Amino acid sequence: MSELHHECGVAAIYHLSGRGRSPICTSDGPRHISQLLPRMLLDIQNRGQLAAGMTTYDPDRPGLLKTRKDVGTVTEVFRLNHRAKAEALMRNYAGRAAIGHVRYATCGQDDRSYAQPFNRKHIHKRKWFSFCFNGQLSNYGLLKERLLADGDHHLALDTDTEIILHEFARLLSQSQKRLDWVDVLRETARGFDGAYSLALLTAEGEMIVARDPLGIKPMCYVHEGPLFAAASESVALLNLGFGSDQIKSLPPGNAIIINPKTGFRMERFAPESKPAHCFFEWIYFANVASTLDDRSVYLSRTKLGEELARAEREYGRVDLNPENTIIVPVPDTSKAAADSMAFELAIPSREGLIRNRYAGRTFIEAGRARKAKAATKYTPLRDVLKDKTVILVEDSIVRSTTMNVLLDRIRDVGGAKEIHVRVACPPIIAPCFYGIDMSTIDQLIAPKYFTHEGCVTADAQQRLADDLGADSLRYLPVEAIARAIGKPADHLCQGCITGKYPTPCGQHLYQIALDNRGTKLDSKRTYEQLAAAMSSS
């Protein structure tokens, strides 16, 4: 799964002075609560390693909003490995409120100008704001075309983040009255198709945290006394010192507004609808220590392992003698499923692959470079693997580059006798248009063998196994996902494994992707082609 591009992550923290005793504070007091923000970002670093940034608010300095952002990890951007420099930086950016972001590029380029938060300066404090978001607007191409159609507008960057910024700014500028931020969200959300969770901070000291109407992207929060904190994942709040019973998931279509004068309030900005939570959060993206929408990531992954064990008993032809057979997870997100599968089958789970955490990110490389990186990323342990029948557990297979290399190394370097791949996910047969960077069909390995959800036959899986170099391969069925997560199937976005999307634009993009499959157009991200397709139809 190391081939798959990560999403982004959002965090926010606010200390409202004079509103009771804070359960958590810094040694420098409420005005320096912002120094906790980099720690929160570290806890969601799994969601993006390309860039990081933070905006802080301090009413007592001329620059009411101050932003630091750059390409790099949280540690690099905030100099966390150098204590004196980190402390000086935190003093320079001190504030009683802060929002932050970690980024992986699903839209736009890989340079500093795309790092978030984005700022919109204005002489009126009400219209001066900074914001960041996790997700993707699937109708980005259409929104971009409409914005530029009159010739009076200009976009400096190729990203939906800037589109959202301009939509917010346009409403604030055109309104003759003072708009509440919930009204701004309500109006802009009508034109958005896609997934988003966002945090926004104004020069008046208002903070807004919102989640898309379908709840595709996660957002958790806690409000205790004068302190408010929010993050894409609960682990960032848990590690601040809050109990799991204090942490809540923000309901889809709702926004939290923190005002220095009026305090905390939550309000719905979009009509209530059936949720469509991204199932990938539980099986891959989220930190295993997180709980999202009342479902533990770890427990969901152990349930996937139980599903794998059940399928192995029913359909498997592998010798399950614990003397000869071991289960090996592909580090790290497959470990919970592999351990659970091993427990159910009463055979050993062994770490036969050791991950080199400093080898770099294989998914940002292309062609031979990605294969070379993949070969250095995992070291097979020959003493564990030699002459064994290996059940290799992976959370998913996207492009297959890493799996090809892994199988070769497990056999050649590790000396395994047999390798049977078990995937704790159904085949990814369709692109994602909501924030995971796999937006064309030709990027994916599964559609070459499985054209639709119902055609995952034993023969088709064996053909893929043969091409990859495995003795056998088996995916989980689609219905196993809802069982493992513990939510109804129609409350999950499963577009990439079913071809059925929760938004009209997502479904339309999939049809474009099908039409463009195998052509030169399929080399471009599908959402970039939406406006042209809409105008010609």
**End-to-end Cα distance, the chain:** 37
Q: Of the ranges 165-169, 172-176, 391-395, which one carries the lowest mean pLDDT score?
A: 172-176
Most confident segment among 1-5, 30-34, 480-484: 480-484
pLDDT digits (tens, 9 = 90+) for 19-47: 666 667 666 677 889 999 999 999 999 99
pLDDT at 70: 94
Beta bridge partners of 421: 392, 473
Range 127-136 average pLDDT: 94
Query: Are the CB atoms for 101 and 110 separated by under 8 Å?
Result: no
Residue spans of beta strands (DSSP E) within 429-523: 472-475, 492-493
480 contacts: CB under 8 Å, gap ≥ 6 = 304, 307, 426
pLDDT digits (tens, 9 = 90+) for 222-246: 999 999 999 999 999 999 999 999 9
- Within 10 A of 155 (CB to CB), how many other CB atoms are there? 13
Q: Name the token pair of 156.
A: 């400096």
Range 50-69 average pLDDT: 95
Most confident segment among 122-131, 363-372, 483-492: 483-492
- Report all structural domains of the chain as residue ranges with CATH numbers, in order of start: 9-273 (3.60.20.10), 297-536 (3.40.50.2020)
Q: Which of 352, 329, 331 is nearest to 409 (CA)?
A: 352
Query: Are the CB atoms for 446 and 453 separated by under 8 Å?
Result: no
pLDDT at 485: 98
Percent of the chain with pLDDT over 90: 71
CA 388 to chain centre: 36
Predicted confidence (pLDDT) at residue 308 exceeds the cutoff of 90: yes
Predicted confidence (pLDDT) at residue 454 exceeds the cutoff of 90: no
Predicted confidence (pLDDT) at residue 136 exceeds the cutoff of 60: yes
Distances (CA, A) of 87 to 28, 57, 261, 337, 365: 12, 18, 30, 40, 35
pLDDT at 65: 97
Query: Are the CB atoms for 432 and 404 separated by under 8 Å?
Result: no
Size of the chain in residues = 537
* Three-state secondary-structure class, residue 32: helix
Dihedral sign, Cα of residue 57, residue 63, residue 64, residue 65: negative
Distance CA 41, CA 232 (A): 10
Predicted confidence (pLDDT) at residue 429 exceeds the cutoff of 80: yes
408 contacts: CB under 8 Å, gap ≥ 6 = 469
**Which of the pair, 270 or 48, is modelled with greater confidence?**
270
pLDDT at 438: 78
Global pTM?
A: 0.90
Tokens 């055979």, residue located: 347
CA 524 to chain centre: 21
Distances (CA, A) of 246 to 38, 224, 242: 21, 8, 6
Residue spans of beta strands (DSSP E) within 372-414: 378-380, 389-394
